[in-house]
Amino acid sequence: MAEELRRTGLYDLHVTHGARMVPFAGWEMPVQYATGVMAEHLHTRAHAGLFDVGHMGQVLVTPRDGRLETAALALERLIPADVLGLPQGRQRYGLFTNPDGGILDDLMFANRGDHYLLVVNAACADQDIAHLKTLDEVVVTPVTDRGLLALQGPDAVQVLARIVPEAAAMRFMDSRILDWQGTELWISRSGYTGEDGFEISVPDVQLVAFAKALLAEDTVAPIGLGARDSLRLEAGMPLYGHDMDAGVTPAAAGLGWAIQKLRRHGGDRAGGFPGAEIVLEEMDRGAAQTRRGLRPEGRAPIREGVPIFADAEGGTPIGEVSSGGFGPSVGGPVAMARIPTDIPDGTTLYAELRGKRLPVTVTPLPFITPSYKR
Amino acid sequence: MLKYTEDHEWLRAEGDEIVVGITRHASEQLGDVVFVELPEEGREVEAGDEIVVIESVKAASDISAPVAGVIVAVNADLADNPGAVNEDPLTAWFFRIKPTEAGAIDGFMDEAAYNDLIG
């Protein structure tokens, strides 16, 4: 018998807004609302979209000795990023690696003065928490009484600032604790759409009231997981379990940038994380394959699993689509695939779809111009 | 009068040909249609052959030939405007088929039976 799906505190609100609820990573989540994926996607790019991302794992990591440096250095044993150098009130993207150099999960971590706040993928949360608990110097506390919202789009800042004025002063990847009607909000200026916006952790008891306060604004519409996927795909952002997994290294996933120089060969705190030698040697010599953008020439979307060939006929696949679909803002299909690194942008490759080889152009990511508030 | 298949196609008899599209229920389930691949005119098909590919923002689906026959025309406008399938599924036809057997349309569901099917 299937395990019971979990619901976020916004379940009833989703249903009220005409959501189609689907199972996702053990949760029952809105894939779309009444207007549909295309309209939701375009609304987010033009105005502001509100996403329930309460399925994601929020975790506090606190040093047992009270010194933040202790927690930073402990986290650096699992995450190949400069954790120690992250200033208070700032957030950074990171990866958990395994001994083979593969990626166990990707995450955001924020320095909150005396501890770190981590946000991890729903499907990996239990595994990540167990992984973190191998660190003796820290206390790992899953946050179980808060929801998580993302407010994304060009109007996000004015909407949020109307009820939380201090949010307007935040810059991209700032992380702050701000007050809303006596409720403590954990806010970061970040997202998964390529748009300016915020991710907001709200106590369960105030979650519905806060979501309703945002949705009361004409410019804000609720957005489902379907549009979240097409928005992040256009923004060139990888999705764990698709564009990367335990068998894909950071360099092959196109995420070498998440490993700051200080953690690479020659850096002050080089290595010291699972799979370090494999990961760093590959970065030194350059990965044989990397994640790239593909633009199919016609209108037919090429989706995950579609093989990519160098030639219009014959040969063996040189890669496989890891994420793909229709990009509403691009106005055509877009995809990502790991293909040989030495293939230049602009090269025509071929996607084999229903027995036919369709031309696709290797295209730099992202497919749209992000509009972060730097 | 329209007839319906269990695959959520609508069928309309016109002379000795049948015009085929998908129902509003089907278009709503598919979501926004972004690409339609149609069969070649003149193609001979068997009942159940998957002859149309519909790609929505979510997934690819097929439409099957409801009866054996010859494809006599396809709605090429859908290639440029696949969204018409969502806007007005009852006018956004996919293909016209000339059935091999006369009366082939008779055995399909009427509207009342189809409405029972989709509940």
Q: What is the pLDDT of residues A134-183, one digit of tens each?
A: 999 999 999 999 999 999 999 999 999 999 999 999 999 999 999 999 99
B79 touches chain A (CB under 8 A): yes
A-chain CB neighbours of B82 within 8 Å are 299
Look at residue A350 and give its three-state secondary structure. Answer: strand
pLDDT digits (tens, 9 = 90+) for A205-261: 999 999 999 999 999 999 999 999 999 999 999 999 999 999 999 999 999 999 999
Q: Decide if A303 touches B, using CB distance below 8 A.
A: yes
Residue B57 to residue A37, Cβ atoms within 8 A: yes
Which residue ranges make up each domain of chain B?
2-99
Structural domains counted in chain A = 2
Is residue A335 within 8 Å of A297, Cβ to Cβ? Answer: no
* B37 close contact with A: CB closer than 8 A: yes
Q: Are residues A151 and A51 in the same domain?
A: yes
Within a domain: A167 = yes
How far is A308 from A300, CA to CA, in rounded Å? 15
Chain B hits for A301, CB-CB cut-off 8 Å, are 34-35, 55, 60
A190 lies in some domain: yes
Instruction: Please report the number of interchain residue pairs, chain A to chain B, with beta-carbon separation below 8 angstroms.
Output: 45
Q: Which long-range contacts (CB under 8 A, 24 or more apart) does A313-322 make?
A: A313/A357, A317/A352, A318/A343, A318/A349, A319/A289, A321/A294, A321/A351, A322/A238, A322/A242, A322/A243, A322/A244, A322/A291
Look up the ipTM and state it.
Answer: 0.84
Q: What angle do CA A335, A336, A339 make, to 5 degrees?
A: 130
User: A317: domain CATH number?
Assistant: 2.40.30.110
The reported pLDDT for the residue numbered A1 is: 44
Residue A373 domain boundaries? 288-374
Nearest CB among A230, A298, A354 relative to B57 is that of A230
The answer on A333 and A216 residing in a single domain is no
Question: Model-level pTM?
Answer: 0.94
Question: Which one-letter DSSP state was computed for residue B8?
Answer: S
pLDDT of residue A8: 97
Given an 8 Å threshold on Cβ–Cβ distance, is A301 in contact with B34?
Answer: yes
CATH architecture of B2-99: Beta Barrel (2.40)
**Is B37 in contact with A303 (Cβ distance < 8 A)?**
no
Asked whether the beta carbons of B58 and B74 are under 8 A apart, the reply is: no
Domain boundary among A212, A234, A256: A234
A295 with A229, same domain: the answer is no
CA distance A11 to A224: 12
Amino acid sitting at position A240 = Y
Write out pLDDT tens, residues B59-94.
899 999 999 999 999 999 999 999 999 999 999 999
Question: Cβ contact (<8 Å) for B57 and A299?
Answer: no
Give all strands of the β-sheet with B60-64 in edge-to-edge order: B33-37, B50-56, B60-64
A326 vs B57: CB contact, 8 Å cut-off? yes
In a domain? residue A37 = yes
- Shared domain check, A163 and A16: yes
